[in-house]
Every structure is written in structure tokens, then in C-alpha cells.
């Protein structure tokens, strides 16, 4: 089968398409003929090896030869002890532990997969698992009338998070680069901030909930941006900021009547299916930026890593 592989961290040029052996599922695993794999910032981080947390499990070189975790496709082989799926089932899920979605076939534990709803295409379904879990958990504290700010709102998780916070009745501000302002408006934000021109932590008003997809500021800046009783949660960003939030965040929050911390996103079908249900019901829209072929994975990753994607980028291996 064809797979996009790499052996060292670097730019998209380190990727190449190779013919590799068709893998066989171990006990508890299925083999999926991959129809679509959506890209996440985590794929870019594992490609470049930056921030440093992307090297966990792969200090000297990549932990996986083939990236791509959000897969959707058809089960074509099952391992021993698999009880939930049979050959021919249409499935999707976040295969973060094994990756391998930038290939014609991928192995996945059955526990990470769920049946694809008939109302979603493979490309649409592939956009949901990782970004959906982040968006659902990151907006859980949004309530009617609250002021919510999403930093990095023009990306994959952000476009779902905007819609979920709006559904809950919040007033939503989206922060991203200048080229994504119109996109954020089209998804439904009430206000936009161009991070190249304005520092949201220095502008009034204070927010009740901040979901930060790309943290890179000090704990004091986040405290400043929060209303009393407000909550700040980051899911990604540079290591320095994440460590500061982990260490000084809880203390600073406690003494100032705010909650500042890192959101460790729980993975698995139970954590993204509610969003898929909303998408099938037409209550949340899926924004697919572009669909690329397997040999275009370097270009697809560059589009995400260089911040040009509006919504989710998808690769269709077969
Ligand atoms: N905590 C967990 O358990 C967990 C699990 C999975 C993933 N994650 C993390 O969650 C995050 C999810 O990202 P995603 O897939 O939604 O990424 P994405 O689609 O790339 O979106 C991130 C957005 O942030 C923008 N951005 C970059 N720098 C910014 C800045 N300084 N201020 C404001 N916006 C900025 C990017 O645009 P430009 O680059 O063009 O500016 C992009 O639009 C990643 O950091 C990933 O590592 C965390």
C-alpha cells in the first residue's frame, strides 16, 4: 500500500510517499481502508517536533513513521477479540496512539472508533474526533450571556468551538490572524481580534471563559483578561506558557478569584459523538477548507502549519 512516511523531524520536505507492507491487525485492532483523514495542529507539531511536548515518546526521532490520527474509512480486516465491528463497517475516530492515517490503510484499536453516521461523508466525519473533543470540552462552561473568547478561533477546533459557545447563548470573541477574520465572522463570532494588531489581554472587557488553543503569554496576562469568577483553559501552545499555567496558574487563579489551568482533553468516541450528532442534525456546520490527495500531504500539512487553512484540511488517500 502507499503511505506518507518520514524518519526525522523537519519541514514538509522530509515527507515522502512509499510502498509499504499492508499491516495486519493485532488483537483488539481493526484495519481501516482510509477514505479520509483530517489534519490537526498536532500532526504539524509531530512533523516538526515543536513544541517540545511533540517529542514525547520520540525524543531522537518521530514515534510514528506515518502521521494522521483523525481517520474515517471502511473496516477491511479485524484482529482477534474484536467484538464491535465487522468487515465493511464505515467507521471514524481519533487514532492518536497509532496514527497512520496518511496511508491507504491504517490499524486502529476498536476502542477509538465509532460507526460513521450515514448523514456525514467520510471527509466530514474525519473532521470531528480530535477538534470536536477539544471544542466540546473547551466550551462546556459557556453559558447564556457570558463573554467567551477563543484564541486561535479560525482553526479546526476553533470553528467548532465558536458554534458550540454560540449555541449555549454566549457572546463570542474570536482571535486569529488577519486573513481569518472574515472566516470567523462567517462561522458566527460576535467580535474578532487580529492577534497581529491587538493583544486581547490588554483590551477591555474581561471574559468569563477563555479557551486558548495556542497559549504563549504569561499567567498574569491571562488573569488580567479574565472577569472575577472567570475560567481560562489552554489546550496547546508553547511549552513555557503551558508550564507557567500548570504551575503558577492555579495559585494565581485561587488568590484572585479566577480559575486558570490546562485542559487535558479526554479522547474517545464518547467525547466527540455529541458533536457529530449536532452536525447530523444540521445544528453545527462542518467547515472543510480543502481536500488533498495522498501525494499532496506535504502541501496539506504546510497549509495547516503556516496558518492558511480556514477550518479543517482533509486528505483523501483512496
Ligand atoms: N490538551 C490536549 O489534550 C490536546 C489534545 C489534542 C490537541 N491539543 C492541542 O490543541 C490545539 C488545537 O489546535 P487546532 O487543531 O484547532 O489547530 P489549528 O487548526 O491550527 O488552529 C489554531 C489556530 O490558531 C492560530 N494562531 C496561531 N498563533 C496564534 C496566536 N498567537 N494568537 C491567536 N491565534 C493564533 C492559527 O493561525 P495562524 O497560525 O495562521 O496564525 C490557527 O488558526 C493544538 O495546539 C494541539 O496541540 C491538545
Q: What is the mean predicted confidence (pLDDT) over 184-211?
A: 95
Ligand 1 binding pocket mutation candidate from 94, 126, 176 (most atoms within 8 A of CB): 176
Determine the distance separating the centroid of ligand 1 and the alpha carbon of 293, expressed in angstroms.
Answer: 23
**What are the residues facing 72 on neighbouring strands?**
36, 92
Q: Convert the pLDDT of each residue in 128-160 to its tens digit.
A: 999 999 999 999 999 999 999 999 999 999 999
Query: What's the confidence (pLDDT) of residue 53?
Result: 84
Residue nearest to atom 39 of ligand 1 (CA): 307
Residue nearest to atom 43 of ligand 1 (CA): 155
Around ligand 1, the residues with Cβ closer than 6 Å are: 40-42, 45, 130-131, 134, 151-152, 154-158, 175-177, 180, 195, 213-214, 216, 235-236, 263-265, 304, 307
Q: What is the mean predicted confidence (pLDDT) over 63-86?
A: 97
Instruction: Provide, rounded to the nearest whole percent, the portion of the chain with pLDDT above 70.
Output: 100
Distance CA 150, CA 113 (A): 28
Nearest ligand 1 atom, CA 53: 47
Query: What's the confidence (pLDDT) of residue 90?
Result: 98
HEC profile of the chain: CEEEECCCCCCHHHCEEEECCCCCCCCCEEEEEEEEEECCHHHHHHHHCCCHHHHCCCCCCCCCCCCCCEEEEEEEEECCCCCCCCCCCEEEEECCCCCCCCECEEEEEHHHEEECCCCCCHHHHHCCHHHHHHHHHHCCCCCCCCEEEEECCCCHHHHHHHHHHHHCCCEEEEEECHHHHHHHHHHCCCEEEECCCCCCCCCCCCEEEEEECCECCCHHHHHHHEEEEEEEEECCECHHHHHHHHHHHHHHHHHHCCEEEECCCCCCHHHHHHHHHHHHCCCCCCCEEEEEEHHHHHHHHHHHHCCCCCCEEEEECC
Q: Convert the pLDDT of each residue in 210-243 to its tens digit.
A: 999 999 999 999 999 999 999 999 999 998 999 9
Average pLDDT of the chain is 96
Distance CA 155, CA 148 (A): 16
Determine the distance separating the centroid of ligand 1 and the alpha carbon of 173, expressed in angstroms.
Answer: 16
Nearest ligand 1 atom, CA 307: 40
Determine the distance separating the centroid of ligand 1 and the alpha carbon of 147, expressed in angstroms.
Answer: 21
Nearest ligand 1 atom, CA 152: 24
Residue nearest to atom 34 of ligand 1 (CA): 152
Ligand 1 binding pocket mutation candidate from 213, 302, 305 (most atoms within 8 A of CB): 213
Kindly give, in sequence order, each residue whose CB lies less than 8 Å from that of residue 80, ignoring residues fewer than 6 positions away. 26, 27, 28
Determine the distance separating the centroid of ligand 1 and the alpha carbon of 307, expressed in angstroms.
Answer: 9
pLDDT of 57 > 90? The answer is no
Q: What is the dihedral of CA 121, 123, 128, 130, to 10 degrees?
A: 150
Query: What's the confidence (pLDDT) of residue 56?
Result: 85
Query: How does residue 307 score in pLDDT terms, banded at 50, 70 and 90?
Result: confident
Q: Quick check: bond before 205 cis, omega within 30?
A: yes
pLDDT of 34 > 90? The answer is yes
Determine the distance separating the centroid of ligand 1 and the alpha carbon of 316, expressed in angstroms.
Answer: 22
Amino acid at each position: 500500500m502507499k503511505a506518507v512516511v518520514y524518519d526525522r523531524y523537519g519541514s514538509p520536505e522530509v515527507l515522502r510517499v512509499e510502498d509499504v507492507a499492508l499491516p495486519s491487525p493485532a488483537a483488539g485492532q481493526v484495519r481501516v481502508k482510509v477514505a479520509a483523514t483530517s489534519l490537526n495542529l498536532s500532526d504539524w507539531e509531530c512533523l516538526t517536533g515543536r513544541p517540545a511536548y511533540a517529542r514525547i515518546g520520540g525524543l531522537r526521532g518521530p514515534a510514528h513513521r506515518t502521521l494522521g490520527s483523525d481517520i474515517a474509512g471502511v473496516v477491511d480486516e479485524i484482529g482477534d477479540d474484536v467484538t464491535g465491528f465487522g468487515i465493511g463497517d464505515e467507521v471514524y475516530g481519533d487514532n492518536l496512539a497509532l496514527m497512520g492515517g496518511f496511508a491507504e490503510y491504517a490499524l486502529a484499536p476498536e476502542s477509538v472508533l465509532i460507526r460513521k453516521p450515514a448523514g456525514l461523508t467520510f471527509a466530514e466525519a474525519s473532521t470531528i474526533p480530535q477538534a470536536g473533543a477539544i471544542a466540546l470540552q473547551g466550551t462546556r462552561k459557556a453559558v447564556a450571556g457570558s463573554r467567551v473568547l477563543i484564541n486561535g478561533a479560525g482553526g479546526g477546533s476553533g470553528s467548532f468551538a465558536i458554534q458550540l459557545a454560540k449555541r449555549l447563548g454566549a457572546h463570542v470573541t474570536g482571535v486569529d490572524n488577519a486573513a481569518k477574520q472574515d472566516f470567523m465572522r462567517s462561522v458566527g463570532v460576535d467580535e474578532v481580534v487580529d492577534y497581529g494588531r491587538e493583544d486581547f489581554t490588554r483590551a477591555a472587557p474581561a471574559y468569563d471563559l477563555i479557551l486558548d488553543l495556542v497559549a504563549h503569554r504569561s499567567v498574569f496576562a491571562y488573569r488580567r483578561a479574565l472577569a472575577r469568577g472567570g475560567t481560562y483553559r489552554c489546550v496547546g501552545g508553547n511549552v513555557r506558557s503551558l508550564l507557567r499555567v500548570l504551575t503558577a496558574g492555579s495559585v494565581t487563579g485561587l488568590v484572585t478569584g479566577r480559575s486558570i489551568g490546562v485542559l487535558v482533553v479526554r479522547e474517545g468516541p464518547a467525547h466527540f459523538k455529541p458533536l457529530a450528532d449536532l452536525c447530523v442534525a444540521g445544528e453545527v456546520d462542518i467547515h472543510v477548507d480543502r481536500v488533498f490527495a495522498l501525494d499532496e500531504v506535504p502541501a496539506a500539512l504546510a497549509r495547516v502549519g503556516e496558518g492558511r487553512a480556514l477550518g479543517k484540511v482533509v486528505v483523501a488517500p483512496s
